[in-house]
Amino acid sequence: MSVLLVIIGGFFGAICRFAISQWFISRTKSFPVGTLLVNWFGSFLLGWLFGSDPGENWKLLIGTGFMGAFTTFSTLKWETVQMLINGEKRNAIFYLVLSYCFGILFAYGGYLISR
């Protein structure tokens, strides 16, 4: 049952991330706003989920499945590498600082709000 919950959550998380990313890519070609917002939102929701302690099945479905597929660590890394390859060092550093600092703050904020 646990594997099925992760699969279902992952299916929907991946579809949501793809749709949001595509929407932003068509509007902001020079900076990966879609990935940044998805990761921030996912960080907040994951913090909120684990702070509210909804039970193991919900953690598997939403936390591991949905959020695991919705947020994207590897895309963040690849987009940063692309900026570096294109000589956009300042944008790459800015993107990493925004991603990590605010991601941690959003996760903590979600956790605090759920308590």
Rounded to whole angstroms, the Cα distance separating 65 from 51 reads: 17
Q: Are 34 and 25 in contact (CB under 8 A)?
A: yes
Is 63 known to sit in a ligand binding site?
Answer: no
- At residue 100, the 3 state secondary structure works out as helix
Is 68 known to sit in a ligand binding site?
Answer: yes
Annotated binding site: 68, 71
Annotated binding site for Na(+): 68, 71
